[in-house]
Amino acid sequence: MNARECNHCAGLSRSRLLHRAAAEAGRGLPSIEPGMPLPAGTGLSRRTFLAHGLGAALAVYGASRLGIRAFEEGIAAAANGPAGQPILVSVFLEGGADTLSVLSPQGDPLYQQLRPKLALAGGTALREDGRLFWHPAAGGLAELHGENKVTVMPAIGYTKADQSHFTSRHYWEVGATDPDLRTGWLGRYLDRVGTPDNPLQGLSLDDTLAPALATAKLPVASIAGPDQYDFWSNRVWGEVETRMLEAFSLLGSRRPDPALQSVGAVAKQADRLRHQLLPFQSTSDGKPAFTSPVLYPQSDDPFPKRLAGLAAMVAAGLPLRAVALSAPGQYDTHSAQAATLTSGLQLTSDSLLAFQRDLEARGIADRVLVHVWSEFGRRAKENGSAGTDHGAAGVGFLIGTRVTGTMVGEFPGLANGLDEDGNLKATADFRGVYAALLEQWLGTDAAAIIPEASSFARPTLIQ
């Protein structure tokens, strides 16, 4: 039994089951406790597209009326459209990451008293607040922060925080403290600005659909990894398949007949898309054929590989708008926190650093913004199992060349900044951050997407 399996509480296991069941057709939902919300995306149809000629192997959600031909034409047209669309990448730290370890308040006199065993010492001080120090395993984030490419949110959350993994995660995913919402906040954004024939506009790099991407009207997609997005032809492979696919490009030649011209235009776009996607196809030994200009961490966890593939997809001009994936590691650290948190945070931080360097090397860093979040933080006082229990306000980050690098909210301190349960109080509301991201980064009206958006202050996030 590994650390990911043994240190978290039963509530996290139940949350995983519920979210996975919501995104898998035909499996139904496990029993839900009274008052618990259904996951966003529950009831969305799921189709796996494997085209007869040109097609993509991926699961498409909410696409019951989308045919194979429309799917191919839509992606081809979108990929051939104007470049420069901003992309938001959502990275979830599942389990409730410990704010007071990721950014340890070593300059606060109560820190050592509350955490006699878990208190950290040393490290890199945070520029905006000399009381806070980066966790040694977060060196990648600290490096980017030193370059003004990370905005820190040291106490982000919402008032009267729910300490259920499932419920609090649901609130963050739907962008509201509403248990009845069934669409994700990014899904509602896509419903507003997306198209009915481009599932790649919302891409979940996971085995199931990320609920934050759940739409009401438009299709979104899920793939286990970028190297698994490829063209497929039934019972045809090798050189015969290559020649068959290349023959499609001949249809793109100029034709006197208007109907043939229309068909040829689609064929030409599809052929262009095929060549764009060739770098993602796995080789015979199962390794992705695409290369990265930087080295990513070597790990059995798919996270660094997914980020490497995502950078290549952005560089290839694929029509992405919002992407979601889960970070590696175990953040529900009720026991043995020191070692468990370190291993996951190290891989997450190093992978995000490599991803940023990859985007910069390709000259596309200004198009991508990464949002790192967790459903809540941990209690300030350590427990008797060398761990911490569920808290309230958590830690979050925005990463990219366009961020202001200005702290959102503040660290409230341990003397007056804890609630009646001993949890960190929020000094920034996640819904205000969402509203600011929608307006300042994605260029759309937050009031149409975030309930009661006008009641939340918008921090300046983008320069």
The residue among 202 and 41 whose pLDDT is bigger is: 202
Q: Are residues 13 and 148 in the same domain?
A: yes
Q: Say how far apart CA 100 and CA 374 lie, in whole Å.
A: 14
Q: Say how far apart CA 42 and CA 461 lie, in whole Å.
A: 32
Coil, strand or helix at 370: strand
The answer to which of 12-16, 84-88, 415-419 has the lowest mean pLDDT is 12-16
pLDDT for position 34: 57
Q: Are residues 60 and 44 in the same domain?
A: yes
Q: Are residues 126 and 27 in the same domain?
A: yes
Q: With 90 as the cut, is the pLDDT of residue 225 above it?
A: no
Q: Say how far apart CA 295 and CA 337 lie, in whole Å.
A: 29
Q: Computed over its alpha carbons, how large is the radius of gyration of the chain? A: 23
Q: Are residues 205 and 258 in the same domain?
A: no
Q: Are residues 225 and 244 in the same domain?
A: no
Q: Are residues 268 and 221 in the same domain?
A: no
The count of domains in the chain is 2
Work out the end-to-end distance of the chain between its first and last CA atoms, rounded to an integer number of angstroms.
46
Give me the DSSP letters along 91-154: EE-TT---HHHHEE-TTSTTHHHH-TTT----SPEETTEEEEEE-GGGHHHHHHHHTT-EEEEE
Q: What is the mean pLDDT of residues 168-175?
A: 96
The answer to which of 193-197, 367-371, 382-386 has the lowest mean pLDDT is 193-197
Q: Band the pLDDT of 266: cuts 50, 70, 90.
A: very low
Q: What is the mean pLDDT of residues 343-349?
A: 98
Residue 307 lies in a domain: yes
Residue 408 lies in a domain: yes
What does the pLDDT look like over 12-64, one tens digit per residue?
665 565 555 444 433 333 444 556 677 776 656 554 443 333 333 456 676 55
Q: Are residues 258 and 396 in the same domain?
A: no
The answer to which of 35-49, 170-184, 349-363 has the lowest mean pLDDT is 35-49
Q: What is the mean pLDDT of residues 239-246?
A: 55
Q: Are residues 173 and 314 in the same domain?
A: yes
Q: Band the pLDDT of 246: cuts 50, 70, 90.
A: low
**SS3 sequence of 260-305:** HHHHHHHHHHHHHHHHHHHHHCECCCCCECCCCCCCCCCCCCCHHH
Q: Are residues 352 and 445 in the same domain?
A: yes
Q: Say how far apart CA 231 and CA 92 lie, in whole Å.
A: 29
Q: Which domain holds residue 246?
A: 236-280
Coil, strand or helix at 9: coil
Q: What is the mean pLDDT of residues 210-234?
A: 74
Q: Which of 323, 310, 274, 278 is nearest to 72 (CA)?
A: 274
Q: Say how far apart CA 339 and CA 461 lie, in whole Å.
A: 33
C-beta neighbour count of 250 within 10 angstroms: 11
Q: With 50 as the cut, is the pLDDT of residue 192 above it?
A: yes
Q: Are residues 145 and 273 in the same domain?
A: no
Residue 461 lies in a domain: no
